[in-house]
Structure 1
């Protein structure tokens, strides 16, 4: 167990933070000289384990402090998120997670709309509303129409068949990604018909990156829901931002 864990209370706490501008237009732009920014404590919440202290205690080993700094650098200019402060119970896991997520989010060749559609569909299928809260605004910013989000991305039943959208609401590529994401998340195994549709529209590199994105955010969503990171279990897509 990392040294810094000994300093935290055994009672879970709710951690409020400044979300990105797209999620809260009234948030503060106050910054500090350190890339690690503190959360403010409020009454007890439902996170299943306490978040780690932020900033880390002075007794924290230098190697673990370096992990904090790397995670904070990827998050900047935003503060560390509740997900980070859960993962940092295990600095080696947090470090590897940070590297993997950084590659999937910022270093693949996928356009933002396809990446965020995949992430949002994973969130819906797995009822990971903390994940939805962060990524639905990014999908909209990337050009996904609100009607597409409502009628297709948030649909609870499986996505099957050919592109059902009217008037080009979803492109064939967007539909193929949604359908592949849905089937991969629900069933793990993907039918040949679904895979062949994806392969007909994307390069082999893109197929790998789409698959990695879906797999990555299935991992993220399961971690979030199991521990109730961000205290969003039991809500829904329309309530998760509140």
Structure 2
């Protein structure tokens, strides 16, 4: 059960914001939306930020989903894992990779048979960022080997930060998958 009650359709508002969220979601409000809409400014800003992170960054879809699923696993954000499994698979990840991430992302970051060197560097970076915030030079250097452009590096840092924010809201609020 959520720690904060979900808003029902009648209580969710303002109407223009709810309509925009429904359009983005294919007509439905998710449980996350039903919590965020308790604060319309938060719901509006959330949509803008996460929309840019997921829809405007130049990172490949698999890179994005691998980082998101790693954050979700590390933080216990089952809601995030539930919603991103299909996206991870659609982006080219395998079921074995997803299962390893969901079971233990930190251990999966070292799984040379499941993940290539670039993926392991991204996962190690995500583990360090999520658990410690400060990234040591060796971990950042490994990331730079595979994502040498500053824009890529900034987008990876921001992606991980944004989904750590999402995970913390999901877990602290007790939001459950639909």
Fold similarity call, TM over 0.5: yes
Q: Which has the higher contact order (CA 8 A, sep 6+)?
A: 2
Contact 1:56–1:65 (8 Å) recurs in 2: no
TM-score, scaled relative to structure 2: 0.90
Query: Where does residue 4 of structure 2 map in the other structure?
Result: 49
Q: Is 1:165 aligned to 2:112, yes or no? A: yes
Shift of 1:78: 4.7
Query: Where does residue 24 of structure 2 map in the other structure?
Result: 74
Query: Where does residue 170 of structure 2 map in the other structure?
Result: 224
Q: What secondary structure, in the 3-state scheme, does the structure 1 residue paired with 2:140 have?
A: helix
The correspondence of residues 63-212 of structure 1 with structure 2, limited to 5 A, is: 64-75=14-25, 77-152=26-101, 154-155=103-104, 157=106, 164-166=111-113, 169-202=114-147, 203-212=149-158
Q: Which moved more, 1:117-126 or 1:150-159?
A: 150-159
Q: What secondary structure, in the 3-state scheme, does the structure 2 residue paired with 1:170 have?
A: coil
Shift of 1:50: 1.4
Shift of 1:158: 5.7
1:214 pairs, out of 160, 163, 169, with 160
Number of residue-to-residue matches in the alignment = 177
Q: Which protein shows a greater Rg?
A: 1
Contact 1:185–1:214 (8 Å) recurs in 2: yes
Contact 1:123–1:131 (8 Å) recurs in 2: yes
Mapped to 2, the partners of 1:89 and 1:208 lie a distance apart of: 31
Mapped to 1, the partners of 2:108 and 2:139 lie a distance apart of: 10
Shift of 1:153: 5.6
Taking a change above 3 Å as real, the CA distance of residues 109 and 157 of structure 1, as seen in their structure-2 partners, is closer
Mapped to 1, the partners of 2:154 and 2:72 lie a distance apart of: 20
Mapped to 2, the partners of 1:193 and 1:81 lie a distance apart of: 39
What are structure 2's unaligned runs of at least 5 residues? none
Contact 2:67–2:122 (8 Å) recurs in 1: yes
Contact 2:106–2:127 (8 Å) recurs in 1: no
**What RMSD, in angstroms, separates the aligned Cα atoms of the two structures?**
2.1
Q: Which moved more, 1:125-134 or 1:66-75?
A: 66-75
Shift of 1:173: 1.9
Mapped to 1, the partners of 2:101 and 2:175 lie a distance apart of: 26
Q: Which has the higher helix share?
A: 2
Mapped to 2, the partners of 1:93 and 1:138 lie a distance apart of: 25
